[in-house]
């Protein structure tokens, strides 16, 4: 059965950081009403500002199909999870902490028992996050990529109990967002994070060993293999702390080949997290 390329009328997003705001932008721009829930008033204000700034940039580029005011009218940002009650789809986009994600997913299921639940995790087990859900057949992974508005890929991660009809619906949602979907079975790192982190970790080892500088290593991949961005610069954009957490998880699941190099641990310990802090493998302030 072909996927119907429409988004749910009302979409909830748990977490309004960089990824959550990007996901909210994507669904608002596709015509959905979107509710973003944040932990407190300051975080909610920051989330609203992020989404509106992102939509304003899209309007300036001519990629927003309606006036900015019309899109913003469909955006709600709140601290009250009860606002998810009428949502057809709720996506959690909170930090990569399994306990936190499970807690918020269970809370959302109680508030919106008829909604489809999804996680934007980049590496945690969808089956593990489904533990405690009363309806795991209505749960799957929707792994968006940063920056969400510009990225063309969404990784649909299928859990052991995910309904096959839901996967078809999810393909339609992704198509309606103007993006392409790949479907993967739940496994450590899925397809994208597992391959992306493997490449990035080897690039870090090469940097540690003095094989070449960061820019030359990245240029080898951008010019030699036509990657749009090298693995070290990509790590800066993703966040070194995020990459470290994923690598540690993959090492625990798949073995020492994913063990984080010392340079990654040292930079995270020093607060050099990439673009968001101004310094990682590159100096972003300059």
pLDDT at 252: 94
pLDDT at 5: 78
pLDDT at 275: 95
Domain residue ranges in the chain: 10-185, 191-277
Question: Which of the following CATH numbers is that of domain 191-277: 1.10.3720.10, 3.40.640.10, 1.10.1040.10, 3.40.50.150?
Answer: 1.10.1040.10
- Please tell me if the domain spanning 10-185 has the same topology as the one spanning 191-277: no
pLDDT at 146: 85
Count of positions (residues) in the chain: 286
pLDDT at 260: 98
Confidence of residue 1 (pLDDT cuts 50, 70, 90): low
Per-residue pLDDT of 141-168, as tens digits, reads: 999 998 899 999 999 999 999 999 999 9
pTM of the model: 0.88
* Residue 37 DSSP class: E
Question: Mean pLDDT, to the nearest integer, of 161-187?
Answer: 97
Single out the residue of 186, 201, 192 nearest to residue 251, CA to CA.
Answer: 201
Q: Residues of 140-160 as b/e, b for ≥16 C-beta within 10 angstroms?
A: bbbbbbbebbeeeebbbbbbe
Looking at the DSSP bridge assignments, the partners of residue 34 are 11, 75
Per-residue pLDDT of 63-115, as tens digits, reads: 999 999 999 999 999 999 999 999 999 999 999 889 999 999 999 999 999 99
Q: Regarding the domain with residue range 10-185, which homologous superfamily does it belong to in the CATH classification?
A: NAD(P)-binding Rossmann-like Domain (3.40.50.720)
Per-residue pLDDT of 36-69, as tens digits, reads: 999 999 999 999 999 999 999 999 999 999 999 9
Looking at the DSSP bridge assignments, the partners of residue 283 are 279
> What's the rounded Cα separation, in Å, for the pair 239 and 17?
13
Confidence of residue 3 (pLDDT cuts 50, 70, 90): low
Per-residue pLDDT of 184-195, as tens digits, reads: 999 998 999 899
- pLDDT of 227 strictly over 90: yes
Beta-strand runs (E) in 32-138: 33-37, 75-78, 89-92, 116-119
Per-residue pLDDT of 18-28, as tens digits, reads: 999 999 999 99
Q: Are 112 and 74 in contact (CB under 8 A)?
A: no
Going by DSSP bridges, is the β-strand pair 116-119/153-158 parallel, antiparallel, or unpaired?
A: unpaired
Helix (H, G, I), strand (E, B) or coil at 240: helix
Per-residue pLDDT of 108-142, as tens digits, reads: 999 999 999 999 998 899 999 999 899 999 999 99
- pLDDT of 205 strictly over 80: yes
pLDDT at 96: 87
pLDDT at 123: 85
């Amino acid at each position: 059965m072909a996927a119907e390329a429409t988004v749910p009328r009302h979409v909830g997003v748990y977490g309004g950081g960089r990824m959550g705001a990007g996901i909210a932008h994507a669904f608002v721009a596709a015509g959905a009403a979107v509710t973003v829930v944040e932990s407190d008033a300051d975080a909610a204000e920051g989330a609203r500002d992020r989404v509106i700034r992102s939509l304003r940039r899209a309007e300036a580029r001519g990629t927003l199909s309606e006036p900015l005011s019309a899109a913003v009218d469909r955006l709600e940002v709140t601290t009250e999870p009860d606002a998810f009650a009428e949502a057809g789809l709720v996506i959690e986009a909170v930090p990569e902490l399994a306990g936190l994600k499970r807690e918020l997913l269970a809370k959302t299921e109680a508030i919106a028992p008829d909604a489809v639940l999804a996680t934007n995790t980049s590496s945690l087990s969808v089956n593990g996050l489904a533990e405690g859900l009363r309806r795991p057949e209505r749960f799957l992974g929707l792994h968006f990529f940063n920056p969400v508005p510009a990225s063309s890929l969404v990784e649909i991660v299928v859990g052991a109990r995910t309904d096959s009809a839901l996967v078809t619906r999810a393909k339609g949602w992704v198509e309606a967002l103007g993006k392409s979907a790949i479907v993967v079975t739940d496994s450590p790192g899925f397809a994208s994070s597992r391959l992306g982190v493997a490449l990035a970790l080897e690039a870090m080892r090469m940097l540690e060993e003095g094989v070449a500088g960061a820019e030359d290593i990245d240029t080898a991949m951008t010019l030699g293999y036509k990657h749009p961005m090298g693995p070290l610069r990509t790590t800066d954009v993703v966040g070194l702390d995020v990459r470290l957490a994923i690598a540690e998880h993959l090492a625990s699941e798949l073995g020492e080949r994913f063990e984080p190099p010392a340079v990654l641990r040292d930079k995270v310990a020093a607060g050099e997290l990439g673009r968001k802090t101004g310094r990682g493998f590159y100096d972003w302030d300059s």
